[in-house]
Amino acid sequence: MVLTGTLVLVGCADGDSVPNLPKSICWNGEFAGRSVEPLLPKGDKAQVKMPEAATFDVFEHQSSTYCSVFVDGGRAHGRESFRAWAQRRSSGKGTGWNHWGPSTNPVPVGDEGFLWAKGASSVILCERPDLPRGNRFRLLKEQKYVELALVAEDAPDTRQTRETLTALLKQYVQFAKRELKCANGV
C-alpha cells in the first residue's frame, strides 16, 4: 500500500517582511528555517510542503524527492519560492547532466556543482553495492548518480543569495551522502 499526501508546516509574518519558517524544515530538519529565509520574498505566510512521510530516498523506493516552500500560496500560479529536490541519474560529472542553462558558474560542491542567479545544483556519485541492480530489478546498473538542486525563484540576484545557495548546497550534499548511505560517502 502506498500512502500519498502532503505534509504542510506554516510560518507567518506581517506581509512587509519575510515570513518566519519553522526552526527546521525538509526531511527531518535538513535545513534550518533561518538559513532558507534570505531566499524568500516578503509575504504573510510561508508553507513547507513535502510528500507525506517523505524520506530522503532516491534508490530503494522512489527515483526522486522534494521539499518546497510557498510564500502566500505561491505568487506565480503555485510556483514555489524555494525548492530542494534530488533525483537518481544514470550520468554524472562531465556528462552534460546540468540542464540549468549556459548562465551557470561552476562551484566546488559535490563531484560537480553549478550556481546561477536563482539556484544551485550538484551531482554526486553514490555507490550502493548493497542494492540489487540489473534488468530484473528496479535499479539499473548505471543508476548510481544523484542530482541535488536548490531553486529560489523569488530570491534577489545578489552576492548574499549566491553565498547562501552555495552554503546550503554544500550542506545538502553532505546530508545526501549520509542519508543515502553512499559507500563513497562523507
Side-by-side strand order, sheet with 119-125: 6-12, 45-51, 64-71, 82-89, 145-151, 119-125, 112-116, 105-107
Please report whether residue 117 resides in a domain: yes
Q: Give the lowest-confidence range in 58-67, 82-91, 134-143.
A: 134-143
Q: Is residue 163 one of the residues assigned to a domain?
A: yes
Residue 76 is predicted with a pLDDT of 54
Q: Is residue 14 part of a domain?
A: no
Q: Is residue 49 part of a domain?
A: no
- The answer as to whether 106 is a domain residue is yes
> Could you tell me if residue 87 is inside a domain?
yes
108 in Cβ contact with 78 (< 8 Å):
no
pTM here? 0.84
Q: 128 lies in a domain?
A: yes
How many domains does the structure of the chain reveal? 1
Task: Report which of residues 134 and 26 the model is more confident about.
Answer: 26
Angle at 102 between CA 97 and CA 105, to 5 degrees: 85
> Tell me: the pLDDT tens digits for 65-97?
999 999 887 655 556 899 999 999 888 876 665
Lookup: cell for 81? 519560492
- pLDDT at position 177 is 94
Question: How does residue 9 score in pLDDT terms, banded at 50, 70 and 90?
Answer: very low
Domain of 118 in residue numbering reads as: 56-179
Domain contains 138:
yes
